[in-house]
C-alpha cells in the first residue's frame, strides 16, 4: 500500500487524532511539515487548517473525512462500533468534541493568562461526555472508536495547559480511568513520542 502522508504539526489535536488512527489501524504513514498559512498550505487546504492527507492520487482535508477514509483503508481492523446505537453514540461524541469541546478545552487554553480562562464551557462538555460514557472501557463501548481518538488529544491538551483541569477530571472518576487507560495504548504512546521529537 502507498504510504499515507499526513501534513501538519504533531502538536495539533486533530493531527494527533489522525496519527493515532494510523497507528491503531497499523497503516504505513509519515508526517510531513506544512508552511502554515503559506500558498503551499492553502493549495492543500483552502481554509488553512490541518491535517491534510495525501495518499497516492487522493488528497483529503477535514479530520472526520480523513478518519473515515483511514478506517475504511484498514484490512480487517475498525474504529467504528457495531450496531446502530453505538455508531450513533460515536457520531454524537464526535459532534460534541468538534462543536463544543474543541472551543472549550483547546481554543480557550490559548489565553495568555490561564487563570482567567472561563471553565464553565469545559465543565459542561466534560459533564455531557461523562454522561454518555457507558459501562465499557471506551467512550462508546468496549472497543476503541474514532470518538476516543478525537477526544483524548483534546482532553490531554486541556490537562496540560489549564491549572484547574486536573481537579475537573478528578470529579469525573469514570472519565479519569478512561483517560489513563487511553494514555497506555501503544498507538497513543507512539504518537506522543512523535510529538516530542519535533
Residue with cell 468534541: 97
Whole-angstrom distance between the N-terminal and C-terminal Cα of the chain?
26
Give percent of the chain with pLDDT exceeding 70.
96
Position 197 pLDDT exceeds 60: no
Other CB atoms within 10 A of residue 49 CB: 18
Domains and CATH numbers, the chain: 4-78+188-196 (3.40.30.10), 84-185 (1.20.1050.10)
Instruction: Taking residues 133-138, report their average pLDDT.
Output: 86
Position 35 pLDDT exceeds 60: yes
Q: How far apart are CA 85 and CA 134, in angstroms?
A: 12
Residue 112: pLDDT band with limits 50, 70, 90 = confident
**Can you give the pTM of this predicted structure?**
0.93
Q: Return the pLDDT at 59.
A: 96
Q: What is the dihedral of CA 174, 109, 5, 34, to 10 degrees?
A: 180
Q: How far apart are CA 29 and CA 168, in angstroms?
A: 35
Edge to edge, what strands does the sheet with 52-55 contain? 29-32, 4-7, 52-55, 58-61
pLDDT in tens, 37-73: 999 999 999 999 999 999 999 999 999 999 999 999 9
Other CB atoms within 10 A of residue 158 CB: 26
Position 198 pLDDT exceeds 50: no
Q: Return the pLDDT at 134.
A: 81
Position 160 pLDDT exceeds 50: yes
Amino acid at each position: 500500500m502507498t504510504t499515507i502522508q499526513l501534513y501538519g504539526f504533531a502538536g495539533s489535536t486533530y493531527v494527533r487524532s489522525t496519527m493515532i488512527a494510523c497507528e491503531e489501524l497499523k497503516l504505513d504513514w509519515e508526517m510531513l511539515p506544512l508552511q502554515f498559512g503559506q500558498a503551499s498550505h492553502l493549495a492543500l487546504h483552502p481554509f488553512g487548517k490541518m491535517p491534510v492527507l495525501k495518499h497516492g492520487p487522493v488528497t483529503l482535508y477535514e479530520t472526520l473525512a480523513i478518519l473515515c477514509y483511514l478506517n475504511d483503508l484498514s484490512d480487517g481492523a475498525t474504529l467504528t462500533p457495531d450496531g446502530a446505537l453505538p455508531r450513533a453514540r460515536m457520531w454524537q461524541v464526535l459532534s460534541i468534541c468538534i462543536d463544543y469541546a474543541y472551543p472549550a478545552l483547546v481554543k480557550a487554553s490559548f489565553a495568555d493568562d490561564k487563570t482567567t480562562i472561563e471553565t464553565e464551557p469545559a465543565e459542561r462538555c466534560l459533564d455531557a461526555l461523562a454522561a454518555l460514557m457507558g459501562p465499557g472501557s471506551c467512550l462508546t463501548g468496549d472497543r476503541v472508536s474514532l470518538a476516543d481518538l478525537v477526544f483524548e488529544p483534546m482532553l490531554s491538551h486541556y490537562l496540560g495547559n489549564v491549572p484547574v483541569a486536573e481537579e475537573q477530571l478528578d470529579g469525573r472518576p469514570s472519565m479519569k480511568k478512561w483517560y489513563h487507560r487511553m494514555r497506555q495504548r501503544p498507538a497513543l504512546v507512539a504518537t506522543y513520542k512523535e510529538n516530542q521529537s519535533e
